[in-house]
Structure 1
């Protein structure tokens, strides 16, 4: 069979046109896929949940020390050293934890009269900090005063590291449940289908600074009495927050 040149050209042109259409379709799909993928990724809900737990404070963080005044720097320093050694030996005997020196001071004392400065003596102090079970803190403070301590700079209450770590995990679980509950409420209200969690961000799980004991004056006064100084701990708050990104 003999085909004319015109027919062959038309056939070739048609095949080329179909190829161009197919190629254009493929290109169109190629360009559309990233857009669809991006749109799908943008369909997410971001929610943040919080969890709060309380943990018992069973440890007392104590700062106490010795201070003295006298006519000469040498005499004052020797007196502070003598009494400080007695206090530190007591604390070591009671096996307190994290015992360390936090301050040593020696300062001149002056008297001012009609603009004239006169040296009257010296004052010195030696401050230590330590941790002890709160149930033992009152008795130990009384013993420290008898051993030579003359100032109590601070008492604060904290939980053990193990108790805080366990409570942080519980607070984190609460934060996740809170975030998921918020997401469920939103999806239900909008009649959307909840998808997978595509991102998790733990914003933190921490405990605030130790709670201080405020009434030091009463504690100093009771230290001189026969009854043990009352030292009662409380609870420490542990917080956690989590951010979830959920597809739909």
Structure 2
């Protein structure tokens, strides 16, 4: 039985008068016929390495009898906190607002109607740190600067292209070894690669929104201890091999 395996290749339309960056893309379908059985594999490889960046969430929660006053207090304290973060050498692009929330507050007592007690405002930012040796110092500084929300840190590799390339190389080697093993067990002498496709995942790497702390921390005499450890970078690649005599 003949099986046609298809590979999709992106091609730029050379006849277009649009600039290269704006030229539309088309896909050319290339059919590869396979006479023998086909082995389909999905391989995930992970490379462990030391992180070189981190992010954490922080912010300010304020309460007041009126919404206007709660927001006024919060805005004032949050601006002071952002100024403190920038004073630590963090660039504007590495400070991102993740949420501003205004909520009415009620006192709930058993067998009684809820009693309105005022408003609460929470303003949160995500901070990216490229010098993780200073992370403990920064966490202490933001708390001393007025933060009463803190979440993280989340460690990552700023440019993971090299470790992803290593993970892909390992995936190719692993898939080929597995496919040869299947071919040998089935009485075939060799294999022929038909298709490769990689699953791409986005998002999910950032810190969760900051949570209110039970009590505001006092500034520590020394920086908070931080151990970055290692992080894993993984790729999942699918392969199809034809078994050949």
Same fold at TM > 0.5: yes
RMSD of Structure 2 on Structure 1 (CA)? 3.3
Which structure has the highest strand share of the two?
A: 2
| Structure 1 unmatched runs, 5+ | 1-34
Contact 2:84 2:145 in 1 (8 A): yes
CA distance in 2, matches of 1:165, 1:247: 33
Deviation of 1:104 after TM superposition, in Å, equals: 1.1
Choose 1 or 2 for highest CA Rg: 1
Q: Does residue 132 in structure 1 map to residue 129 in structure 2?
A: yes
**Partner of residue 45 from structure 1, selected from 9, 14, 38:** 38
| Structure 2 unmatched runs, 5+ | 5-32
Deviation of 1:183 after TM superposition, in Å, equals: 2.5
CA distance in 1, matches of 2:184, 2:57: 55
Aligned to 2:113: 116
Structure 1 residue matching 2:34: 3-state secondary structure: helix
Change (3 A) 1:230 1:208: farther
Contact 2:136 2:225 in 1 (8 A): yes
Which structure has the highest helix share of the two?
A: 1
| Mapping for residues 1-248 of structure 1, pairs under 5 Å | 41-48=34-41, 49-93=43-87, 94-96=89-91, 97-112=93-108, 115-133=112-130, 134-160=132-158, 162=159, 164-197=160-193, 199-204=194-199, 209-210=204-205, 224-240=219-235, 241-248=237-244
Deviation of 1:192 after TM superposition, in Å, equals: 2.6
Q: Alignment length, in residue pairs? A: 208
Structure 2 residue matching 1:177: 3-state secondary structure: helix
- TM-score relative to the length of structure 1: 0.70
Spell out structure 1 runs of 4+ moving beyond 4 A: 37-40, 205-209, 220-223
CA distance in 1, matches of 2:225, 2:218: 9
Contact 1:168 1:238 in 2 (8 A): yes
Deviation of 1:191 after TM superposition, in Å, equals: 4.5
Deviation of 1:149 after TM superposition, in Å, equals: 0.9
Structure 2 residue matching 1:152: 3-state secondary structure: strand
Structure 2 residue matching 1:227: 3-state secondary structure: coil
CA distance in 1, matches of 2:107, 2:204: 40
- TM-score relative to the length of structure 2: 0.71
CA distance in 1, matches of 2:179, 2:81: 58
Q: Deviation digits for residues 3-44 of structure 1, max 9, x if unmatched?
A: xxxxxxxxxxxxxxxxxxxxxxxxxxxxxxxx7x67983314
